[in-house]
Amino acid sequence: MVDYRRLLLTILALLAVTVAGTVGYRVIEGASWGDAAFMTVITLSTVGYGEVVPLSAAGRLFTVVLIGVGMTFVFAAITVWVKVIFEGELEHALGRRRVKRVLLNISDHFIICGYGRFGRSLAQELARKGERFVVIDASAALPADVVGFNADATEEQTLREAGVGRARALLAALPSDADNVYITLTAKELNPKIFVVSRCEQESGEGRLRRAGADRVVAPYSIGGHRMVELALNPSLPVFVDVDDLVAASGREHMTVAEIAVGAGSVLEGATLASGELVRQYGVLAIGIIGADGRLQVGVPPQLRLEGGHVLVVFGTERAIEAMARASHAEPVAGDRA
């Protein structure tokens, strides 16, 4: 990694030697400030134009010392500068090659557009879950362990380079609703099957994002405000509804919320919540159901018989949900590990 602190120290050291040499010639030989500075520079650079001012014995001794000390700093500075130039370019080139190589082979991944505070949070959560993702940001410095590149996420070519045609989902996390709308439109045009979750800053922007094709729209400030007010009004609420608190209190294995599609002809077909079969056999809790229109209904009527095509939103351990998914001839569609 490039040591910029060392680079700065060598520059300061050279300036200090130049100032010392200028003052020395001024004091010892009585040269003007201009002649003294010029004498110092040609001495340190070993140009060899000759003596600008006649040198006394003391002046020659000072010149010998100046050459010895000065050239040490000059060579040190040249070494550091060459390292900075070539190592920096090498790091950048290798980084670009590594990203291009990964992007050529990656598939079923997530694309994060924007690496501000919100985007970084998304990246951290995906990394914690072991998911593969690519980050696009116009200017943010990306960590070495994050696969991504600096580009305009609203450009079609940028999304192509990020593998939008092979991606599982796109997370539009830019602070501008207009940019997120454009990203959503472009992503859906390039890959109609991609699942798009978009950030929304303004209430009026949610409708535009949905019309643009966003499958889910998240308003961080609205959600955060609602959450804070609920906590203030109901101090004991987290004990009952906060997943993290429930898991921490129970000490059980990782819990998750997932969507499970009920396959036609599976053992789940025809089951009802009233029978208690889901809880007894799989140990999961059904918290909602997604109908054919794609809308989520929170809470599942106990008498509702499950049919092929129903999508249950369930909460339980990862092991239990995987077992239920196998029984339903489907894979968990999405999850939120606790």
Between the alpha carbon of residue 154 and those of residues 9, 119, 147, the distances in Å are: 41, 15, 18
Q: pLDDT tens digits for 53-96?
A: 778 888 888 888 888 888 887 777 777 777 666 655 445 544 56
Whole-model pTM over 0.85: no
pLDDT digits (tens, 9 = 90+) for 96-141: 666 677 777 889 999 999 999 889 999 998 998 889 999 999 988 8
Strand 169-172 and strand 195-199: the pairing is parallel
Cβ-in-10-Å burial (0-12, 13-18, 19+) of 49 comes to exposed
**CATH, domain 4-100, list 1.10.287.70, 3.30.750.24, 3.90.1300.10, 3.30.2130.10:** 1.10.287.70
d(Cα 106, Cα 132) in Å, to the nearest integer? Answer: 8
**CATH for the stretch 253-335:** 3.30.70.1450
Chain segment 205-231, per-residue pLDDT in tens: 888 999 999 998 888 777 677 667 766
Which tens digits make up the pLDDT trace of 254-299? Answer: 667 788 887 777 777 777 776 566 666 777 777 788 876 677 777 7
Can you give the pLDDT at residue 52?
Answer: 72
**DSSP conformation letters of 25-76:** HHHHH---HHHHHHHHHHHHHT-----SS---HHHHHHHHHHHHHHHHHHHH
pLDDT tens by residue, 171-185: 999 999 999 999 999
The correct answer on CATH 3.40.50.720 for the domain covering 107-224 is yes
Give residue limits of the domains in the chain.
4-100, 107-224, 253-335
Question: Is it the case that residue 204 has pLDDT exceeding 60?
Answer: yes
